[in-house]
Amino acid sequence: ASRAASRALAEMDPVLQARADALRAPIRRGSAVPGTLTRRIHDAGSREELPGRLVREEGDPATGDVSADEAYSGLGATYDLLSEEYGRSSIDGAGKALLATVHYGTKYDNAFWDGEQMVFGDGDGEIFGRFTASLTVISHELTHGFTQYSTNLEYQGQSGALNESLSDVFGVLVEQRTLGQQADAASWLVGEGLFTAQVEGVALRSLKAPGTAYDDDVLGRDPQPATMADYVETSSDNGGVHINSGIPNHAFYLAATTLGGPAWKGAGNIWFDTVVDGGIPADCDFPTFARATQDAAARRFGVGSREAEAVTGAWAEVGVTP
Ligand code: ASN
Ligand code: ZN
């Protein structure tokens, strides 16, 4: 059997309405039919055209192109978390093929999910190196796909910050699981190893200590708040989606480290249930999301369980009142 085959397995208040739906929702894990991992990696050859030339398909040997091979394995690690831990067949629960394009554009300083596939730039070589160098960035981008297929979260304001936070949360969970790291031993950094040596900083963001990932002459200081006391009101960045995501990020970190052990098990399962079964509305704000995580924790682990208590305590500590 091929390695690919061996991976196979597997008019009410809208907020109250969402909560009622969430409590009624059955645990739905996605397709009951075991899925198969299918990856396709393309090379844009420094042009900004998608998808570019197909360079590696599922089961193909390594190409020798570091970016293409990192993308291939990063997609595999993300698929494995969803499949092996949460019983979900790919990002859509129906075995969707995972597509990525590397070497997008010239000196392109970003990576993104375009609604259909992942795209990775090579970086300008001054601030950023290649974006596939960080597993958390690959899994962050792919989680935007998972979120798209599981919720209607609008990419604006608090719902957008929750969308961003989910990508950071599952991004770090993929890395922690791949490295076999317990919650208290992990870095909780997103995008470690992306900056060149010229930048004063370790990563793009930190779930453990939002606001401390970098402090650089050119980039400025990491703008993320960790609690509602430092919430940033802004019209840029779609209303601060990459900024205020620090608050739900830190809540996840607090819940996971309070529980201890592998973060993808306890807190990860609660956040996964919230996304897939939580009935969260498109314009979900932080308190609504917090309540949905409490409900998910109570459904999975029981009312008053230590998991439910850890979730409640975490939101209290970041100043979000469900
Ligand atoms: N890397 C960013 C993200 O995934 C790209 C963006 O904001 N468009 O959120
Ligand atoms: Zn993102």
For residue 61, being part of any structural domain is answered with: yes
For residue 267, being part of any structural domain is answered with: yes
Mean pLDDT of the chain: 91
Domain endpoint, select from 150, 180, 212:
150
Domain containing 196 equals: 154-322
Percent of the chain scored above 70 by pLDDT? 89
Record the pTM: 0.90
Q: Position of tokens 């950071």?
A: 168
Same-domain check for residues 174 and 145 = no
Domain endpoint, select from 117, 134, 150:
150
For residue 92, being part of any structural domain is answered with: yes
Check which CATH number belongs to the domain holding 104 and give it: 3.10.170.10
Find the 164 Cα to ligand 2 centroid distance in Å: 5
Query: What is the C-alpha to C-alpha distance for residues 77 and 259, in angstroms, rounded to an integer?
Result: 24
For residue 14, being part of any structural domain is answered with: no
pLDDT at residue 11, rounded to an integer:
33
Q: Is 107 left (phi over 0), alpha (psi -120 to 50) or beta?
A: left
pLDDT over 50 at 6, yes or no? no
For residue 226, being part of any structural domain is answered with: yes
Q: Is 111 in the pocket of ligand 1 (CB under 6 A)?
A: yes
Check which CATH number belongs to the domain holding 190 and give it: 1.10.390.10
Helix or strand holding residue 216 (H, E): strand 215-216
Whose alpha carbon is nearest atom 4 of ligand 1? 112
For residue 18, being part of any structural domain is answered with: no
Same-domain check for residues 194 and 100 = no
pLDDT tens digits for range 214-223 = 999 999 999 9
Same-domain check for residues 219 and 296 = yes
User: What are the residue ranges of helices labelled H in 99-235?
Assistant: 135-150, 157-179
Find the 305 Cα to ligand 2 centroid distance in Å: 32
Same-domain check for residues 227 and 188 = yes
Task: Sort 49 into a burial class: Cβ within 10 Å, 0-12 / 13-18 / 19+.
Answer: exposed
Find the 140 Cα to ligand 1 centroid distance in Å: 9
Same-domain check for residues 100 and 182 = no
Is 242 known to be catalytic? yes
Query: What is the C-alpha to C-alpha distance for residues 89 and 276, in angstroms, rounded to an integer?
Result: 13
pLDDT tens digits for range 28-82 = 444 444 579 999 999 999 999 999 999 999 999 999 999 999 999 999 999 999 9
Q: Is 149 in the pocket of ligand 1 (CB under 6 A)?
A: no
Q: Is 141 in the pocket of ligand 1 (CB under 6 A)?
A: yes
Is 141 known to be catalytic? yes
Same-domain check for residues 185 and 137 = no
Same-domain check for residues 137 and 182 = no
Domain endpoint, select from 150, 167, 195:
150
Same-domain check for residues 158 and 50 = no
Domain count, the chain: 2
Query: What is the C-alpha to C-alpha distance for residues 82 and 89, in angstroms, rounded to an integer?
Result: 7
Query: What is the C-alpha to C-alpha distance for residues 216 and 198, in angstroms, rounded to an integer?
Result: 9
> Among 12-16, 110-114, 159-163, whose mean pLDDT is lowest?
12-16
Same-domain check for residues 292 and 309 = yes
Residue 212 binned pLDDT confidence (cut-offs 50, 70, 90) = very high
Same-domain check for residues 140 and 181 = no
Percent of the chain scored above 90 by pLDDT? 89
pLDDT tens digits for range 120-137 = 999 999 999 999 999 999
For residue 12, being part of any structural domain is answered with: no
Same-domain check for residues 293 and 276 = yes
Query: What is the C-alpha to C-alpha distance for residues 244 and 114, in angstroms, rounded to an integer?
Result: 22
Same-domain check for residues 199 and 246 = yes
For residue 307, being part of any structural domain is answered with: yes
